[in-house]
């Protein structure tokens, strides 16, 4: 029996080692680390760890042991939460939606703002704000529009009960990073059509995804293999979230799901021509749309909904949006979504503040307090967001 246990242990160890070696080889063959990024060795180590977890999750999913999204959540829950002694954290519900409330312990006679952000504890302390983090339902059990609906319902409930939270109705801030930035942009557009609600003072969009249609923008060419959001990962997660069969991702990437009539209508907002030329590298070339695939279009046509691709909102809706703070990173595949939205907002007279981080990459903000894995760009973004909110 002891021999069998040793044999099993050796087999399992060999398996995990083999996967790790495969991940390193894949990383070295496919991943690009732009020379402008600081601490490239640190980024390589983190990305290899990230790929290792993704690969194990995919293996477990194929073996029908556990879905990959659920495995990722399990892995994330292994690490303990760092507590801030200056912030009081409480789990509550706004209606049926679970939220986590972050409140500075320091007593203040002033009303506090409200922000939504993954770095809630830090923001609550640094900006003296009451912060709510929405516990929206996630993959693999829930798909679009559950995320938006949960965040929208929590936001409406909160806006209707600001007084009970001690929040000044003129100082409400919605904030989100990555897909959270997409949720904020979508919700802010929807709130304009709901009467008798306090107005949002400002929206803070950090590296948001605002377009699920054009995957051929300059940043999609330049940063398609840059950690942590490669084009392959972006397309796979887009398909998972929108419940699109993953086999259509290649047609989406090539632009074969875009009908000519729709492109003529929306290219004024989606075209690479709207991205300033200084963001085009020497090898960036305008991409021609792939041959139209009607079957692929019919399977993916939900991406043309305004509730999914915020960039498609009518000028009338854009003109009613609050002032906006946009954060973009140079080496982020989603960089150009921010640039296109910035132009749309400015064309409609919306005040826009913009922070562009030259050495930044997608998700770098998540490492701001993860020593020794923090990056200079992480603190640049955090400090910029804190400074902006404090000035609201």
Is residue 33 domain-shared with residue 88, that is, in the same domain?
A: no
Taking the C-alpha atoms of residue 359 and residue 383, their distance in angstroms, rounded to an integer, is 15
Quickly tell me which residue has 């562009």 as its tokens: 356
Assess whether 101 and 225 both reside in one domain.
yes
pLDDT in tens, 164-204: 999 999 999 999 999 999 999 999 999 988 999 999 999 99
The answer to whether residue 369 is catalytic is no
Q: How far is CA 109 from CA 112, 128, 219, in A?
A: 9, 11, 46
What is the C-alpha separation between 251 and 290, in angstroms, rounded? 8
Structural contact between residues 325 and 350, judged by C-beta atoms closer than 8 angstroms? no
CATH of the domain at 391: 3.40.50.1820
- Per the annotation, the verdict on 220 as an active-site residue is no
pLDDT of residue 74: 83
**pLDDT tens figures, 207-256:** 999 999 999 999 999 999 999 999 999 999 999 999 999 999 999 999 99
Percentage of residues of the chain with pLDDT beyond 70: 93
Tokens in use for 247?
């086999």
Task: State the total domains in the chain.
Answer: 2
Q: State the residue for tokens 């952000």.
A: 117
Is the domain of 216 the same as that of 150? yes
For residue 37, give Cα distances in angstroms to 227, 229, 239.
11, 15, 29
Structure confidence at residue 177 (pLDDT): 95
Q: Are residues 143 and 59 in the same domain?
A: no
Tokens 């021999």 identify what position?
A: 3
Output 38-47 pairs: Cβ under 8 A, ≥24 positions apart: 38/359, 38/375, 38/376, 38/377, 39/375, 42/372, 42/373, 42/375, 43/227, 43/361, 43/375, 46/227, 46/228, 46/367, 46/373, 47/227, 47/228
Same domain membership, residue 52 and residue 192: no
The rounded distance, in Å, linking the Cα atoms of 336 and 277 is 12
Measured between alpha carbons, how far is residue 299 from residues 235, 239, 292, 310 in Å?
A: 14, 10, 13, 20
Q: What is the C-alpha to C-alpha distance for residues 277 and 255, in angstroms, rounded to an integer?
A: 22
CB-CB contact of 307 with 182 (8 Å): no
Write out the H or E segment, with its range, that includes residue 266.
helix 260-270
φ, ψ dihedrals at 106, nearest 5°:
-65, 130
Return the number of other C-beta atoms located less than 10 Å from residue 302's C-beta: 15
* Final residue belonging to a domain, choices 24, 52, 78: 78
* Statement to judge: residues 47 and 196 lie in one domain: no
Does one domain contain both 38 and 138? no
Task: Determine how many CB atoms are found less than 10 A away from the CB of residue 207.
Answer: 29
Residue 207 has a pLDDT of 98
By residue range, what is the domain housing residue 335?
A: 84-392
Answer yes or no: do 179 and 304 share one domain.
yes
Give the model's pLDDT for residue 385.
96
What pTM was computed for the model?
0.92
Question: Pairing between strand 112-115 and 130-134?
Answer: parallel
- Same domain for 44 and 92? no
Tell me, what's the pLDDT at 116?
Answer: 36
Annotated active-site residue 178? The verdict is yes
* pLDDT of res. 114: 60
Instruction: For tokens 């007279």, name the residue.
Output: 349
> Residue 25: its pLDDT value, please?
93
**Could you say which of 78, 105, 139 is where a domain stops?**
78
Q: Are 178 and 206 in contact (CB under 8 A)?
A: yes
Q: Would you call 305 exposed, middle or buried from its count of C-beta atoms within 10 A (0-12, 13-18, 19+)?
A: middle
Length of the chain: 392
Number of other CB atoms surrounding residue 97 within 10 Å = 20
Say whether both 347 and 233 belong to one domain. yes
pLDDT of residue 284: 67
Q: Active site residue: 178, 214, 253, 310, which one? A: 178
- The answer to whether residues 70 and 211 belong to one domain is no
Q: How far is CA 342 from the centre of its chain?
A: 17
d(CA 273, CA 181): 24
Q: How confident is the model at residue 117, as a pLDDT?
A: 38
Give the bridge partners for 177, in sequence order. Answer: 206
Which of 114, 150, 177, 332 is catalytic? The answer is 332
Q: How far apart are CA 318 and CA 349, in angstroms?
A: 9
Q: 315 and 266 in contact (C-beta within 8 Å)?
A: no
Catalytic choice (117, 125, 220, 362) = 362
pLDDT in tens, the chain (392 residues): 676 677 777 877 888 889 999 999 999 999 999 988 889 999 999 999 999 999 999 999 999 999 988 888 887 767 667 778 888 989 999 989 999 998 988 655 555 556 333 477 899 989 999 999 999 999 999 999 999 999 999 999 999 999 999 999 999 999 999 999 999 999 999 998 899 999 999 999 999 999 999 999 999 999 999 999 999 999 999 999 999 999 999 999 999 999 999 999 999 999 988 999 999 887 666 666 889 999 999 999 999 999 999 999 999 999 999 999 999 999 999 999 999 999 999 999 999 999 999 999 999 998 988 888 899 999 999 999 999 999 98
User: Are residues 194 and 60 both part of a single domain?
Assistant: no
Residue indicated by tokens 């399977």: 299
């Amino acid at each position: 029996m002891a021999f069998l246990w040793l044999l099993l242990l050796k087999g399992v160890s060999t398996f995990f080692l083999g996967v790790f070696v495969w991940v390193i080889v894949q990383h070295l063959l496919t991943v690009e680390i732009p020379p402008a990024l600081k601490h490239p060795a640190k980024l390589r180590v983190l990305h290899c760890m990230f790929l290792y977890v993704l690969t194990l999750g995919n293996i477990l999913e194929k073996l029908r042991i556990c879905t990959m999204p659920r495995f990722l959540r399990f892995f994330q829950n292994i690490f303990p939460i760092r507590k801030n002694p200056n912030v009081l954290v409480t789990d509550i519900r706004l209606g049926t939606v679970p939220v986590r409330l972050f409140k500075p312990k320091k007593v203040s006679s002033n009303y506090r703002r409200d922000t939504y952000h993954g770095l809630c504890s830090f923001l609550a302390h640094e900006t003296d704000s009451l912060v709510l983090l929405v516990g929206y339902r996630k993959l693999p059990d829930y798909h679009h529009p559950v995320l938006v609906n949960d965040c929208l319902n929590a936001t409406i409930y909160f806006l209707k009960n600001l007084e009970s939270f001690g929040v000044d109705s003129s100082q409400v801030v919605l904030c989100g990073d990555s897909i959270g930035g997409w949720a904020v942009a979508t919700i802010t557009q929807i709130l304009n059509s709901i009467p008798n609600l306090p107005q949002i003072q400002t929206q803070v969009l950090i590296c948001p995804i605002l377009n699920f249609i054009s995957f051929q923008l300059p940043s999609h060419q330049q940063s398609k293999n840059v950690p942590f959001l490669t084009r392959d990962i972006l397309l796979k997660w887009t398909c998972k979230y929108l419940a699109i069969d993953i086999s259509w991702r290649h047609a989406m990437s090539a632009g074969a799901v875009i009908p000519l009539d729709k492109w003529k209508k929306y290219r004024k907002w989606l075209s690479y021509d709207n991205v300033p030329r200084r963001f085009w590298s020497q090898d960036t070339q305008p991409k021609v749309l792939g041959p139209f695939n009607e079957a692929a279009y019919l399977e993916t046509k939900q991406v043309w909904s305004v509730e999914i691709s915020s960039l498609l909102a009518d000028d009338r809706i854009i003109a009613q949006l609050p002032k906006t703070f946009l954060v973009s990173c140079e080496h982020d595949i989603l960089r150009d979504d921010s640039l296109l939205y910035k132009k749309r907002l400015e064309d409609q007279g919306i005040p826009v503040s913009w922070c562009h981080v030259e050495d930044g990459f997608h998700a770098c903000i998540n490492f701001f307090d993860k020593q020794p894995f923090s990056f200079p760009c992480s603190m640049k973004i955090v400090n910029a967001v804190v400074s902006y909110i404090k000035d609201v």
